[in-house]
A and B are shown apart, each in its own frame.
Chain A
Amino acid sequence: MLLQIKNLHAGINGKEILRGVNLEVNAGEVHAIMGPNGTGKSTLASVIAGREVFDVTAGEILYNGKDLQKLSIEDRAREGIFLGFQYPVEIPGVSITNFMRTAVNEVRKFKGLDPLPGGDFLRLMEEKKRLVEITSNLTNRSVNEGFSGGEKKKNEIFQMAMLEPLLAILDETDSGLDIDALRIVANGVNKLRRPDNAFVVITHYQRLLDYIIPDFVHVLFEGKIVKSGGKELALELEEKGYDWIKKEQA
């Protein structure tokens, strides 16, 4: 099993947000996590990535059988966990090229590999740029600085393609995208699917799931996964909204 979350409780500043999440993800699977606003979807993503502002108060997260709580943010990333940010951060003064080169080589170093030679790195960049249909000179610009919403999200998928994670968590990657950008982002994800990796797609709307077909759909509500099913669950949610879930829980 790639990811196993058991009875996870977590919060921020003493306020509990996740109240006993259970989730299992195997290699080769795509999971969608849906749910109303403010139910803890982004918190779950952040906690898996190791964001330090959140405190895990109970439960455990196992990744390839390892206790993630013992790993730093960067070591989780180097082990193959990738978080696609809902709001990618702008970092003026750091070019995407330097950022990715540093990241790729730090991951390689962790795996005991030599740094990628400059020429190979550039070829890899070009190849991955094509994957997400980045045609502009985006990569010479500072990370996300002055990017449109669509460019930022494409840039997230581009970084994912560069780093080839085993577990990719995409936090509302579809928010703020027009239909063309959505298609490009989804295509990128589909091309990166392999038997040895898995995706957890967090989304508010069913729309993205027309392009990225999930194996499982989960509903996160008030800090717990209250319902799981196949892709048809997403359609049901689209049709009926979340009110019936809320009523079921009441």
Chain B
Amino acid sequence: MQPNVKELITRERFIDLFEKNRRFLAAHDTTALAGIREKAFDSFSNLGFPDTSMETWRLTDLEESFNRGYDYHLRPMEEVDFQKVFRCNIPHLDTAVIGQLNGWYVSKDVPLMELGNGIIMGSLAEARKKYPQLIEKYYGTMADDTADGFTALNTAFSQDGVFIYVPDNVKSPKPVQLINVIHHEENLFLQPRNLIVVGANAKLSLVHCDDSYNHQASFSNIVTEIHVGENGVMDHYKLQNLNNNSTLISSVFFRMEASASLDSHYISLNGGLLRNNIRVLFNGPHGNANIYGIYLMDRKQHVDNQVFIDHAHPGCTSNETFKGILDENSRAIFNGHVMVRRDATKTDARQSNKNILLTDTARVNSKPFLEIYNDDVKCSHGSTTGQLDQESMFYLRQRGIGEETARMLLMFAFADEIVTKIAIPQLRQRIEDMVKKRLQGELQICEQCVLHCSTPEHPMDFQIDMAKI
């Protein structure tokens, strides 16, 4: 069935839509926010959507995704039951759960929670009304609307999403789990916008999940801005488990103040086309950022990780480690760009990308890249792509372990270098389970959230017990 022309993702459609709904979109904007929106719209009008003629999009062709046709809604479509989203929680993990359904914040009791310790979390739309000054201070200051049409489009249409504010000197007592669920009966285009502020000396753990509950096609253009104040600590997880008809463009912009520390994990388990734009700006000296990624792809799945780390100040360290296992006709792209600016002495930057190809038809394009304008730095980069190690296979099989199980053990061990970096034990256990299931081809996008597949009450049947005993 050919999609209606009005449903195609084109520059014209969104320009037209913006112009017709300009007043509605900006209804709650302060003057400053309205200005950001208009500027972003101008940017988008000029840039349009990226295509393969652009260097950073050369290997990711969106044409097929664009041509599927999608509904786009300027208002939440339905009243939703929080439990519908909430069911995706991680068992025995004591988190504060906040949810989004189809890009709209879903309220458990109130749209914006204000906790005793000063933490605010909830709907960004609500926060714009209630805390306009706070929002103005941070919103739109990290995302770069001039470089990328998707980010500009998100800003131009930005309405709702999640807002989390951790004031100075406050350490969030529990991890926050932000669950973004896509569940709709028609193809859907969605553009959530999130703003996370971690104050000076503050601390936040955020688990950000993208899940789909059915097999309907979707196209997500998510922009998340994260500010980590001086000496602040952010532990961030992005867990992607979407159906094979989904396209996800996720852009996360981190701004790190002096001595701020970040661990950010990208765990891509499933999805039709996944693109992670990860940008880290060191906005003061002595910051530290570790960016970890693991992707497990098969069929015709496509994953594209673009990491840009801007060492704009001296004495910062960054470490990127991305690993992937690619089966069948899947494809992965890694593009790591470290920029060391002229004044950034004593920069320490490392990049590594390792891939295992299980078939002749799986493909990887890996490009670690260092751009250095200072002599007094330590930088390294490396990339390897190969098959499973035959020596190791022989060794395992010689001990009586069957070929399939041996492959599984080696693949899991390969992935484990990244999984083991997960600092929350319950989450690490869940991800280990999911990686095992994924490698066995058992991880399904099911009606029940996949995170429920393994609990102590319903142990998962997995023949290799990897539990440390």
| A interface with B by C-beta (< 8 Å) | 49-53, 72-74, 77-78, 82-83, 85, 88-89, 91-95, 97-103, 106-107, 110, 118, 122, 140, 142-143, 159, 163
A74 touches B403 (CB 8 A): yes
Q: Which of B402, B410, B414, B417 contacts A106 (CB 8 A)?
A: B402
- Complex A-B, nearest 6 residue pairs according to Cβ-Cβ distance, in ascending order: A93-B413, A77-B400, A103-B399, A73-B397, A89-B395, A93-B416
Q: How far is the CB of B410 from chain A (nearest CB, A)?
A: 7
A51 touches B464 (CB 8 A): no
A74 touches B395 (CB 8 A): no
- Chain A neighbourhood of B397, CB < 8 A: 72-74, 77
Query: Does B465 make an interface contact (CB < 8 A)?
Result: yes
A113 and B131 alpha carbons, distance in the complex (Å): 66
A93/B468 contact (C-beta < 8 A), A78-B400, A99-B399, A102-B405 known: no
A98/B401 contact (C-beta < 8 A), A91-B396, A91-B413, A92-B417 known: no
Q: How far is the CB of B409 from chain A (nearest CB, A)?
A: 6
- Residue from A95, A98, A118 whose CB has the most chain B CB atoms within 10 Å: A98
A51 and B396 alpha carbons, distance in the complex (Å): 12
**Contact mask B373-413 → A, CB, 8 Å, 1/0?**
00000000000000001111011111111110110011011
Q: How far is the CB of B433 from chain A (nearest CB, A)?
A: 15
6 further contact pairs, Cβ within 8 A, besides A74-B401, A92-B413, A95-B468:
A53-B390, A72-B397, A77-B398, A93-B416, A94-B410, A101-B465
A106/B400 contact (C-beta < 8 A), A95-B468, A98-B465, A101-B465 known: yes
A99 and B391 alpha carbons, distance in the complex (Å): 15
26 contacts between A and B (CB under 8 A): A50-B398, A52-B394, A72-B403, A73-B394, A73-B398, A74-B397, A77-B399, A85-B395, A88-B395, A89-B391, A91-B395, A93-B413, A93-B416, A94-B409, A94-B410, A98-B409, A98-B465, A98-B466, A99-B396, A99-B401, A101-B465, A106-B401, A107-B400, A110-B400, A118-B469, A142-B413
B400 touches A163 (CB 8 A): yes
Q: Which of B398, B401, B417 contacts A93 (CB 8 A)?
A: B417
Q: How far is the CB of A159 from chain B (nearest CB, A)?
A: 6
- Chain A neighbourhood of B396, CB < 8 A: 91, 99, 103
- Chain B neighbourhood of A94, CB < 8 A: 409-410, 412-413
Residue of B nearest to A104 (CB): B400
A193 and B61 alpha carbons, distance in the complex (Å): 64
A74/B392 contact (C-beta < 8 A), A93-B412, A98-B464, A140-B468 known: no
- Chain A neighbourhood of B395, CB < 8 A: 85, 88-89, 91, 143
**Contact mask B411-449 → A, CB, 8 Å, 1/0?**
011101100000000000000000000000000000000
A49 and B396 alpha carbons, distance in the complex (Å): 12
Q: Which of A78, A91, A102 contacts B464 (CB 8 A)?
A: A102
A14 and B414 alpha carbons, distance in the complex (Å): 34
Q: How far is the CB of B414 from chain A (nearest CB, A)?
A: 7
Q: How far is the CB of B185 from chain A (nearest CB, A)?
A: 42
Q: Which of the four size classes fits the interface of chain B? A: 20 to 34
A77 and B397 alpha carbons, distance in the complex (Å): 8
- Chain A neighbourhood of B398, CB < 8 A: 49-50, 73-74, 77, 82-83
Residue of B nearest to A93 (CB): B413
A99 and B395 alpha carbons, distance in the complex (Å): 11
- Chain B neighbourhood of A103, CB < 8 A: 396, 399-401
- Residue from B389, B397, B400, B414 whose CB has the most chain A CB atoms within 10 Å: B400
- Chain B neighbourhood of A77, CB < 8 A: 397-400
B413 touches A97 (CB 8 A): no
B469 touches A97 (CB 8 A): yes
Q: How far is the CB of B303 from chain A (nearest CB, A)?
A: 21
- Chain B neighbourhood of A53, CB < 8 A: 390
Residue of B nearest to A89 (CB): B395
A73 and B413 alpha carbons, distance in the complex (Å): 21
- Chain A neighbourhood of B465, CB < 8 A: 98, 101-102
- Chain A neighbourhood of B401, CB < 8 A: 74, 99, 102-103, 106
Q: Which of A92, A95, A110, A163 contacts B399 (CB 8 A)?
A: A163
Q: How far is the CB of A69 from chain B (nearest CB, A)?
A: 16
- Chain A neighbourhood of B464, CB < 8 A: 98, 102
Residue of B nearest to A97 (CB): B469
Q: How far is the CB of A73 from chain B (nearest CB, A)?
A: 4
- Residue from B396, B403, B465 whose CB has the most chain A CB atoms within 10 Å: B396
A140 and B467 alpha carbons, distance in the complex (Å): 11
* Contacts of B179-216 to chain A: CB distance below 8 A: none
Residue of A nearest to B466 (CB): A98
Q: How far is the CB of A218 from chain B (nearest CB, A)?
A: 23
Q: How far is the CB of B5 from chain A (nearest CB, A)?
A: 51
- Chain A neighbourhood of B412, CB < 8 A: 93-94
- Chain A neighbourhood of B413, CB < 8 A: 91-94, 142
- Chain B neighbourhood of A89, CB < 8 A: 389, 391-392, 394-395
Q: How far is the CB of A45 from chain B (nearest CB, A)?
A: 10
A88 and B391 alpha carbons, distance in the complex (Å): 9
A101 and B389 alpha carbons, distance in the complex (Å): 21
B403 touches A122 (CB 8 A): no
Q: How far is the CB of A121 from chain B (nearest CB, A)?
A: 8
Q: How far is the CB of B416 from chain A (nearest CB, A)?
A: 4
A110 and B390 alpha carbons, distance in the complex (Å): 23
Q: How far is the CB of B97 from chain A (nearest CB, A)?
A: 31
A74 touches B400 (CB 8 A): yes
A223 and B356 alpha carbons, distance in the complex (Å): 37
- Chain B neighbourhood of A101, CB < 8 A: 465, 469
A142 and B401 alpha carbons, distance in the complex (Å): 17
A1 and B465 alpha carbons, distance in the complex (Å): 37
Q: How far is the CB of B51 from chain A (nearest CB, A)?
A: 40
A107 and B400 alpha carbons, distance in the complex (Å): 6
Residue of A nearest to B391 (CB): A89
- Chain B neighbourhood of A159, CB < 8 A: 399
Q: How far is the CB of B211 from chain A (nearest CB, A)?
A: 27
Q: How far is the CB of A110 from chain B (nearest CB, A)?
A: 7
